[in-house]
Structure formats: structure tokens, C-alpha cells
Structure 1
Amino acid sequence: MWKRDLAVAAAITMVAEAELLLVGGAAGVEIWPGWALTLLLTLPALALRRLAPLAAAALAAVGLTLQLASVEQLGIATPFLALLFLLASLGWHAPLLQGLLGTGVVLAGGLAAEIAAGSAAPGDAVVNVVIIAGAWGAAFLLRRATDRRLLAEVAAVVEAERSARESVQAERTRIAHELHDSLAHALTLITLQAGSAGERTSEPATRDLLGGIESTARAALADLERMLRLVGERGDEAPGIGALPALVADIERCGLAVDLRLDVADGVPGFVASSVYRVVQEGLTNIVRHSGSRRARVTVTRDGQGWLVVSVEDDGPARPSPVDGSGRGLEGLQERLSLLGGALRSGRRAEGWHLEAHIPVEAA
């Protein structure tokens, strides 16, 4: 950066010296060596415009004072154009405070020369202030506008990336919950049914086969739990309320008797109906896993305020789970129902375990 600034400063200084010689020769004026030395201040002033803005402004102010006091009558333009370039550079590169101080120093240098020469006029002073401050102010405002535009573009890119990441994460979470609700439920039933059948048979070969099925299902369930965050194709939505009898029939094959009561008229939106199915599925699966009860009750009713009330409960004591789980089921249900404006409560009671969901029918 400084090498380029030095090259620009050297080129402008050479142009200024050449203009001094040409203009002075054309006017028949003998060139005083001090004039040439005065113009040499342009070199360090421009070379330091980004490295040391205040020092560059001070050198420019000294040069302006000497030029106004000595060579103004020749009409040398290059030094003043270089001064405007320096002021614009202060506005673009220097901080606000340094830019204001540098501009003030240059203004003071110009006014000091006119006052010393006794040629200061209010109109000239106003013009000098407008030109000098305007050169700095225009560049400063342009830089501020450019910075705001760039910041807005960067913020837009960052927001788009953040939104994309959140969308991906939300889809992964949804898929993880769907996998847990469907495949994990099915694998749990396979494991329990194979184990129960193995205990009831007396044939060693059959017992071995059922034991293999149980072990394979356990391993598949464990693998599934580790891969719940993988992204796959969007699957079909869960079955609705009409599929609850089939779900209960599958559960009863595990030895759990289920009393199912459905008091729901038609017209339940699809996503609400699938959420009801997921609540019942999760509740019955948890009873099979964690309860010693042999009976469960499931009720799905519609109150007079447009809400579906889903209840799954048993009256048995808690027992260790024969199949490990991930704990995602209730968390996923809570997130699903929150999207619908519903609520979920679960926990143990004095007699058994209870899961209850309240879902607004018009949520979808």
C-alpha cells in the first residue's frame, strides 16, 4: 500500500514541478528555487495520507501556506488539486476524528497565509472553507454510504445462511422424530414379541430363531437411535385416528390389553389426526417398555370448545425397561403439539402412568 502511495505522490510532485517551470517560463517569471522546494512538500504529504493522516494534513497545510504566500500569482493548479485529493483521501480512509482534525489544520494553514498577506476577504474565506471541507465531507459521506451498503449485503448473506442452517436443522429434527415415532415403535414391538414367543416355546430350534430375531431387532433399534439425525427423503405423514384400532391390535400381541374409546366425529384435519395417532402410539409404547401393567386405557374425545383430548394411562407399577430408548418421543410430541397450539402432560400417578394431550381441532 505505501509503495503505491509513494509512487502516486512522486508522480504528482513531478507534474507540479513541471507545471511550475512551464507556467513560470511562459509568464517570463524567474523561478525562485524556494518555490520548487515548497512544492516538494506534496511528496511526503500524499505518501503519508493513509499511514499517518494527521502528519500528512500538517505537511499539506504548511505547503499550502507557503504556496499562497509565494507562487499564487503564477496560478499553479497541480498543488491545489493534490490538496483536494489528499482531503478526499482523509474522508475515505481516516477515522472521523482524524479527518476533522486534518481538515481543520489545512483550513488553518490557508487562512493563516491570507491573513499574513493582508488579503483575507470574508467571501474568499467562505469559498475556501466550502471547497476544503466539501472535499473531505463528500468523500467521508460516500464512504459511510458504501460501508452501510456492504454491511447490509453481508448481513443479508449471513441471515440467508443462518436461515438455511435452521431450515436444515428443523428438517433433520422432524425426520428424527418421525423415525422415532414409526420405526422405533415397530422395532420395539418386534423385540418384545420375539422375546415373549421365545419364552413360550419349548423347541430349542424355534427358541434360537426367535432369540436371533430379538437380538437383531435390538441391534437395529440401537443403530436407529444413533442415526436419528441423518437426513433422508420426506416420508408420508403418520396414520390418523382411523388407524388406532390396528395400532391397539399390534400392541395387544405383546400381552397388553387395551381399552380403546373413540368419541370423535369426522372433520378432524389430517395433521391433527396424525398427531393424535403419535400421542397414542408413544403412550402405549412407553407402557410396554416401562410399566408392569397388563391393561391400558386409551380415550380420544372432543370437548365442547373445539379441543381434542387424548389420554393414555395404565394402573401398573414402573419396572426397568427391557429395551433401551433415546428419550426423544415425548420431546418430539411436545414440539409437534406446540406447533399446533396444544399441550402435553405426562408422569406417574398414585396408581400407574398417565399421558394426556390437548390439541385444538382447528390448528391445521
Structure 2
Amino acid sequence: METGRPTWSSRAWPAAWVTLFLLVAALMTIGTQDPATRLLPLVVVGLAVLVSTWAVLRTRRERRAHEDRLAAWTGERAAQAERLRIAGDLHDLVSHGLGLITVRAAVATRLTGPDAAAEQASALADIEAVSRETTTELRRMLTVLRTPESAAALRPAESLADLPDIVAAARGAGLDATLELPALDGVSPGVQLTACAVVREALSNTARHAGPTSARVRVRRDGATVVVTAVDDGPADGWEPRPGAGHGLDGLRERVAAIGGVLDAGPDGPGFAVTARIPDGARP
């Protein structure tokens, strides 16, 4: 049930029917035998026409007012949904970028030995690259939000072909991440985009909560369903979790559910597993 949806029921016709009933009852009670009342039927008919006309016009006005309220309510719902979508995109962008920066910096501070200086310099270079990319994406998104008519170029929607880069970025943050991605033909764009979001969020969570541990990503087809799984081996020794805002998995679960899928997330032995089962409408 949709809360707050405007409802409408006209009161004009019930009032009109009551009025017509009273007119007919009065006509039957008084009768028309008396010469003074022979014009009464014409009067009743005229009143009935006036009452019916009033009911029709009143119903039209009420319907137009209801349609205006319904249009305003629909617009507010659409605006709310768009705000939530934008909030989700911003969360993905900021959480992923800052998560990689935080984890890479944390790993760099723990480096020791003769190669520590070189590794720390490499970490700083990675942090700079991720910071630049995240800042560029934020500016692009804010430009589009400020000027909806802007011709600012939008990136193509992510696909399964982007998964190797997503996993490689996680490796750059210190994860020992692997990807098992067989050739999957005919996967719908929406499913591919959601699969990328699942992998990115899962690896970002692993990096924050488990640090430089091992993680395995697998994408496969199970009949008409695409199954995306990301499993890690648990926190690295001495790692202190760096939790985010806590809305990532909830938002991801809603995103998967929006296209008819199911997301399961929970402990898996010493580690953590995220599994999304996404129905693929492009399959016969």
C-alpha cells in the first residue's frame, strides 16, 4: 500500500440522488389531480435536470482537482526516488574512493624493511591517482546536478567487461583479489550494471573491514539467473576495521531487489561473503 497517495470519492452524486428521491416522493405524495399542481411534474423534471447538471459539473471539478493532487504527489515521489538514486551514486563513488585511499594509507604505514620507502612512495602515487579520479567524478556529477541541460559527458554504464578493472583497483588497495568470470553472452545491461555495483561494494567493505586479505569474486550463470559472489578470508593479522556509514549493503540490497534479485550477506567461516542472485530478463 502506498502511503500518502491522494484518494478521491465524489459526494456530488449521493447528494443528487437524495435530492431526486425527495422530489419524486413529494410528487407522489402531493399528486397532480388538483389543477394548481398540474405543473408540478414539469417543475420536478426541471429541478431534476438542474440537480443532475450540478452533479456532473461538480464531479468534473472534483476529478480535475484530484488529478492535480495526484500529479503533484507523483512528482514528489519521482523527485524522492531521484534523490535516493543520486544519494546511492554519491555513496558508491565516495565510499569506494575514500575506502581505497584509507586502506592504502593504512597498509603503507605498516610497511617495514628495506623496500618500505619504495612501497610507501607507490602507495602515495596510488592515493593521488584515486583522489584525482574521485574528485573528477564528483565534479562531473555535481555539474550535471546543477545544470540538468548541461552537455557534460556521462560515462557509459558499467558492464561485466569492467569487472577486471574493479578487481584490479581492489588489488591496488592491498587486497589479494581474484576474479573468475567465464564468458557470459546476452546478459542485460541492468544486470551487468548491478553486478558491478555488487562487486565494488563487496570489495570496498572487505578492504575497510578486513584489510589486506584475500578475496575471491565469481560471476556465473545459474539458468536464467546471474549469480555474483564475493568471499574474503577474514581480517588480516592486526588489522583494525575502518567501518563506513553503514548504508552500503542496505542500499545494495535495495538495488538488487529493485530488479527482482536477492542479496545475501553474512559471515562465511573466518571471513565474509556477499552473494547476489539477479534474474536476467534478457534470457529466454
Aligned-partner Cα distance in 1 for 2:22–2:195? 73
Aligned to 1:261: 180
2:168 to 238, 249, 267: 249
Report matched runs for 1:144-293 at 5 Å: 144-200=55-111, 235-291=154-210
The alignment status of 1:309 with 2:227, answered yes or no, reads yes
Aligned to 2:4: none
Checking the alignment, whether the CA contact within 8 Å between 1:256 and 1:294 is kept in structure 2 is yes
Checking the alignment, whether the CA contact within 8 Å between 2:211 and 2:241 is kept in structure 1 is no
Q: After superposition, what is the alpha-carbon deviation per residue over 1:315-340, rounded to whole angstroms, capped at 9, x for unaligned?
A: 21597532x52333223322332232
Aligned to 1:135: 46
Q: Secondary structure at the match of 2:281?
A: helix
Aligned to 1:80: none
TM-score by length of 1: 0.56
1:262 to 1:349, Cα distance in 2 relative to 1, 3 A: same
Aligned-partner Cα distance in 1 for 2:80–2:91? 16
Flag structure 2 segments of 5+ consecutive residues without an equivalent. 1-11
1:182 to 1:121, Cα distance in 2 relative to 1, 3 A: closer
Q: After superposition, what is the alpha-carbon deviation per residue over 1:229-273, rounded to whole angstroms, capped at 9, x for unaligned?
A: x95659435422112222112111222101211123233222221
Aligned-partner Cα distance in 2 for 1:298–1:182? 20
Report matched runs for 1:35-114 at 5 Å: none
Checking the alignment, whether the CA contact within 8 Å between 1:344 and 1:355 is kept in structure 2 is yes
- 1:133 CA drift (Å): 1.9
Question: Would you tell me which structure has more helix in proportion to its own residues?
Answer: 1
Q: Secondary structure at the match of 1:242?
A: helix
Percent of aligned positions that are identical: 33
Alignment length (residue pairs): 245
Q: Secondary structure at the match of 2:38?
A: helix
2:245 to 315, 319, 326: 326
Aligned-partner Cα distance in 2 for 1:263–1:183? 30
Aligned-partner Cα distance in 1 for 2:279–2:81? 23
TM-score by length of 2: 0.70
CA RMSD of aligned residues (A): 4.0
Structure with bigger RCO (C-alpha 8 Å, 6+ apart): 2
Whichever of the two has the greater Rg, that structure is 1
Aligned to 1:335: 254
Flag structure 1 segments of 5+ consecutive residues without an equivalent. 1-91, 112-119
Aligned to 2:265: 346
Q: Secondary structure at the match of 2:39?
A: helix
Checking the alignment, whether the CA contact within 8 Å between 1:340 and 1:363 is kept in structure 2 is no
1:125 to 1:289, Cα distance in 2 relative to 1, 3 A: farther
